[in-house]
Structure 1
């Protein structure tokens, strides 16, 4: 009897598959005995073991050279959700998108397999439910002993999860590229994979916040730019007004200086006029005294005229009496005849003299009366002149007092104008400093306006949801060689 090597003892009749075996059963004990194997049998067994490993771990499907499905293993059917009866005899195109199945590349794909080419890549396929399934697959032709392609075998692995990961990472990469281009409107699709879902949601939240910040910066930049333009215009206008004010103050200071000089001159002239008025008042008082003496002299003349008039009256009376006596003498001489003729001549001469004395006394009396009347008139005139001199003296005194007040007021005005002049000088200095500060402020406002526009240009490169339209936002970008301008006032 030939001896065999016993490899395994088992109660399971299906625990091993052998090409050639004999079974010896004794008391319900199955002995599995393997005959000695040839080298060819061992090689074939190893190949079969490899195929078993592939069948257990990979999705395997066999096609005819035209793409008709021959059979598929369990892994493939589970991956795409079909039963074997649902796909057997159908074309491979049932797993491909309709637009891809109609393409020239798809036809070239199967013609290449039929001619002996193989393809290894990642492919997108469609499951029974219509969901996309990504597989890493190799399509390889199977040759017969004559070197002709007998069928096509595809060995695949479901890499949908890896594809989803890659797709999620590609989406995030696309989002980062969009950010690098300034587009903050891009959002990534959140993956179903937990860790990538968190990453995508965090990415979207960060972009959302960044978009809000940039939108706020745009609004602030626009507001600052408008305010800077307003400040620039106001600063220019204020600078112009300040310069005009400085020039006006300078002219005012010069005018006040001239006015102060004129008031000082007026004060000095008023003082001189006051001296002249005082002198005129003293002269008027002296003239009043002279007039008083003149009035006294006129009174004395009047009295003398009256006394002369009395004497002339007396002379006139004497002449009248003499004339009467001469007349009586002539009468008596006529009575005496020849003896009294000589006396009569004398008496006639005396009478003539008396008449002449009477006429002269009458003339003198008239003259004295006329002189007395004129003296009376002169006394009245001198009295009026005295009164007028009193009025003049009072007016001169009043004028002198008022001129004194004017001189004092002029001095006070001169002092006040001097203080005003000093104040205007200080105000002019302050205005000059203000003008310098306004000029510096104007320069700062220009820098602010420039920087605000530059900020607007820089943030304009970002595209956010608040922008009008969805097109590319074009803006004049500031180059690194265009720094922000900062004006620093001179120390």
Structure 2
């Protein structure tokens, strides 16, 4: 390079130092206007050019167009022209626009009068380091977006916390910076040996990870999945701790809920686990008690030990396990065989458990011993059959009674009709008697009138006789006539008296008939009332009997259904 050539001769040591710089650094020489005068092999290799491709061109070929037009770029060269040294990291462009990062110094070379005559740049390629730092910063940024991050000194003092950490625990930044990590720990834990040992290990540079229970603002419980990472200085000594944490509170509570439910199920039900081939993996105490075994006697054995040999060898049993391996769920009452061949009835579900890919990897059975219930149901089925027979007998008797009552009701209705007819006729006879009595009374009046006429005739006959006597002989004929008239009047009086006697007798008889008809009418009315009441009662009894018959038939159907249901459920 021209600059090296012009500076040689300063002595052997100077030449050696310059040659060393030329071998280790990328070097390029510029005129004061930025024109490239020379460049060493390191610089050309770094930028991907040959010397004749850059010599005579301006430095701006290595910067982006917008940078070359910027005020900062113009000021950069103005300062160099005034002899001011420049040192910084710079982004430059190699061949094809390839991004190159350099750590460079731009050094104005002064003449004897102190005026700058050229610029020499010494540069080191830091592209890989820059990309690594960018990658590191990107990762840190990603971590800060996805995790809660807390920086602490080795004594536990909080140095920095990201927004996610602050949101997770509910604090503002000024409320935590400078405080001790123990502000997030339960008071009972702060003075514990475990907490002291935790910080001793961190100060010794030991990495810590796990799930930790912490306290947010107001004592709110927060569970985190966290790593505590000691950060080392250049000498390998830890100088701070960075914690990366993820909120697992919801998952922890959900796991606690699931665990609590599983424990509750294990306490109340018989639980046994199988692999997909039916081999027993584990069983709880309830299951072992129900079947009469100890866990060591069933673990590693096949499920067929709990079924009859005939069923274990059947096609149905083989298909049962094939369907379980396909992930099918089963729920029913199963007859199983316990110790010494004892039959055990269980209400059970066989549940295929799926892995993260949705494939079954084991079977868990939850069961309840219902042997006593099944025996009671068998007894209930037998009792129901007997009850059904009894109810059917009662239903048949009720049906027959209903038919008899209906027939009696029909007879009573006809009796009522007959009594009603008699009552009507008695009433008609009473009316006729009343008319007869009225006629007799009328005849009595006529007789009285005839009697009065007869009396008048007798009186006239008497007067005629007197006059005939007075007339003497001349009155004899008139006396005879008067005598005859008197005889006729006497006969009329006698006849009238006889008629009156007969009318009186007829009236007496009529009164007796009237009294008799009145008694008959009262009796018929009483009978009619009794028949009416009996008919109504029989009709009511008939309705009740029909209802009883219908109810008994329905009861028979219900009892039959109960029996069939118990049998089917068993």
TM range (shorter): 0.3 to 0.5
Larger radius of gyration: 1
TM-score of the two chains, using structure 2 as the length reference: 0.29
Counting helix residues as a fraction of each chain, which structure ranks higher? 1
